[in-house]
Amino acid sequence: MKNPALLRLSAFLTLAFALAGCSVNPVTGEKQLSLISPSDEVAMGAEQYTPTQQTQGGQFYIDPELTLYVREVGQKLARVSDRPDLPYEFVVINSSVPNAWALPGGKIAINRGLLAKLDDEAQLASVLGHEIVHAAARHSVQRMTQTMLISAGVAGLGFVLSDNEWAGLLMGGAAMGAQLALAQYSQDDELESDHYGILYMKEAGYDPMAAVELQQLFLELSKERSTGFLQGLFATHPPSAKRVEENRELVNRIGAGGYRGEEVFERKLATLRQLQPAYDAHDKALELASEDNLAGALEKVNEAIRLLPREAMFYSLRGRIYQEQGNLKKASEDFDKAVSLYPEMFTYRLHNGLNALKLNNLDEARENLTRANQVVPTSIAYLRLGDIAVQQGDRNEALAYYSTAAEAGGEIAEEAKRKLAALTQ
């Protein structure tokens, strides 16, 4: 673990561990070892919410009504949870990977790829209720020491079959948030989240049988090794026959029946379902690009752009394809377009900045890399900002950027160290 922010946090956790007495699990009432105070937990979740959303694909800004709906359903369940006072928030993430996650303090997200697989509001309630328990019962806080030990790998800069192309280059808290969102819960945590999630559903008026049906479906999909799910929801929340069985017993005990909300759900999902062919074309383009079929990828991403011209993600992918083909000018136009459609998104800024640097547009590169780092810091952005500072004759700034990049792991850090040594000779 070379990352100093993680190192500091780990030292803090070690200290907290030494000081911690037993506290009570707010959901189950059982005693548990408490590593982090509730106020630190809330602060941590709030701080990492935006960076974590972005490393998972960014907000699904194309359909804000859908996010409002998810928030409404989520808040209904949060109100009847064991910690109604947490500052819950719910967002839809622009990713085709079927997944959902919760950060400490009630910061919850569901991917558009999972929403598209659901049939009614009760199923959505079962997913959100389950995530609420992960947050409320402090499962993610408890997993933190464990996830701190996963060191950041080295990201390939080529095309990868996910939206997490920068995963290995994240620095500081952003790396921690991404790891929390992607780490696997234990079987006990899963059973506990199912159990209390079902009780919250019942309390909020939903048919709890929807949770059992969904678990059954997930179990079947996991046996078929359904791709997407394997890297998404099943990697973080592993399905099991035991979960289905225990959930069914519980629902039989408390009684099935209640609100399903099929019609409302279909109405709220109408836009996403209608736009699905555009996202399918994008995903196909990404797959073709990762197989080095750039011509095929270009054709597919153009189809996606024709179908949905206001989706920034599509321009970003086409920019990467043009870049790979050596057409930096066209790449630049597409990255500019992606940035103009979603200015806060760090990946679009990062691509735009790195491409501008290749074109020797130093000011544009600097502006974009700085903006990317303000939301989600990456070692590659620090390294290239150092290169720009060298070219612009600012030695002190170069030293600062290279020093930060040198704290990361892998090849980026090695390159930064070499450049630091050269500057200080």
List residues near Zn ion by CB under 5 A: 185, 190, 193, 237
Question: Which CB sits closer to Zn ion, 190 or 387?
Answer: 190
Question: Which CB sits closer to Zn ion, 194 or 415?
Answer: 194
Rg of the chain (C-alpha set): 22
DSSP 271-340: HHHHHHHHHHHHHHHHHHHHTT-HHHHHHHHHHHHHH-TT-HHHHHHHHHHHHHTT-HHHHHHHHHHHHH
For residues 369 and 206, give the distance between their C-alpha atoms in angstroms, rounded to a whole number.
Answer: 46
The angle formed by the CA atoms of residues 403, 410 and 323, to the nearest 5 degrees, is 95
What amino acid occupies position 102?
A: A
Least Å distance, CB 403 to Zn ion, is 39
Least Å distance, CB 333 to Zn ion, is 42
Least Å distance, CB 134 to Zn ion, is 6
CA distances from 304 to 30, 97, 281, 296 (A): 51, 17, 5, 13
CA distances from 307 to 45, 84, 293 (A): 36, 41, 21
Q: At 93, which helix (H) or strand (E)?
A: strand 89-93
Query: Between β-strands 89-93 and 107-111, what pairing exists: parallel, antiparallel or unpaired?
Result: parallel
Question: Which CB sits closer to Zn ion, 182 or 321?
Answer: 182
Question: Which CB sits closer to Zn ion, 213 or 334?
Answer: 213
CA distances from 5 to 151, 173, 370 (A): 12, 7, 19
What amino acid occupies position 258?
A: G
Least Å distance, CB 248 to Zn ion, is 18
Question: Which CB sits closer to Zn ion, 151 or 184?
Answer: 184
Query: Between β-strands 100-103 and 89-93, what pairing exists: parallel, antiparallel or unpaired?
Result: unpaired
For residues 411 and 420, give the distance between their C-alpha atoms in angstroms, rounded to a whole number.
Answer: 14
Question: Which CB sits closer to Zn ion, 110 or 372?
Answer: 110
Least Å distance, CB 194 to Zn ion, is 8
Question: Which CB sits closer to Zn ion, 102 or 321?
Answer: 102
For residues 419 and 425, give the distance between their C-alpha atoms in angstroms, rounded to a whole number.
Answer: 10
Question: Which CB sits closer to Zn ion, 196 or 315?
Answer: 196
173-182 vs 38-55: helix crossing angle, rounded to 10: 80
Least Å distance, CB 140 to Zn ion, is 10
Least Å distance, CB 121 to Zn ion, is 20
Taking CB atoms, the residue at the shortest distance from Zn ion is: 237
Least Å distance, CB 101 to Zn ion, is 9
Least Å distance, CB 46 to Zn ion, is 21
Least Å distance, CB 233 to Zn ion, is 8
What amino acid occupies position 278?
A: A
Question: Which CB sits closer to Zn ion, 139 or 318?
Answer: 139
Question: Which CB sits closer to Zn ion, 127 or 365?
Answer: 127
Query: Between β-strands 31-33 and 22-24, what pairing exists: parallel, antiparallel or unpaired?
Result: antiparallel
CA-nearest of 348, 344, 364 to 356 is 364
